[in-house]
Amino acid sequence: MYKIKGKEYPCCTSITMGIIGGKWKTVILFHLIDGPLRYNELRKHMQTVTERTLSLQLKTLEKDGVIRRKVYTTKPPLKVEYSLTDFGETLIPLLKAVADWGDYVVANYSD
């Protein structure tokens, strides 16, 4: 049994899936690979996600230390950007491998 940030996991893969699992987390992280994005920019990339779901997933990823939320308050309107943390950047090879596998499935098994 592994314990990370107060949560218990039965194996190493469950740690990974606990942090990045689900329908939207990997999509968010994949879009942040190339650099910071504002909330609305993420929404444009993920048109079928609801605002509530996107907001909750961003909060969870931030809490887990995978993304950073930076608020710019120097001049109105308020600007918020999301980016990968150093810890989040360690996921880039994994995210690219998942995307490559998805491309393989589309190329070889799509209807």
**Segment 2-61, tens digit of pLDDT:** 888 888 899 999 999 999 999 999 999 999 999 999 999 999 999 999 999 999 999 999
Length of the chain: 111
Nearest in space to 89 (alpha carbons), one of 32, 14, 26, 25: 32
CATH number of the domain where residue 69 is located: 1.10.10.10
Range of the domain at 41: 24-109
Q: Would residue 10 count as lying in a domain? A: no
pLDDT tens readout for residues 68-103: 999 988 878 888 999 999 999 999 999 999 999 999
> Any alpha helices (H) in 4-79, and if so which ranges?
12-20, 25-32, 39-45, 51-63
Q: Is residue 5 domain-resident?
A: no
Pick the closest to residue 54 from 65, 67, 43, 38 (CA basis): 43
Q: Alpha-carbon Rg of the chain, whole angstroms?
A: 15
Structurally, the chain folds into a number of domains equal to 1
Q: Is residue 31 part of a domain?
A: yes
**Angle, CA 50 vertex, CA 99 and CA 22 arms, to 5°:** 40
Domain-embedded: residue 95: yes
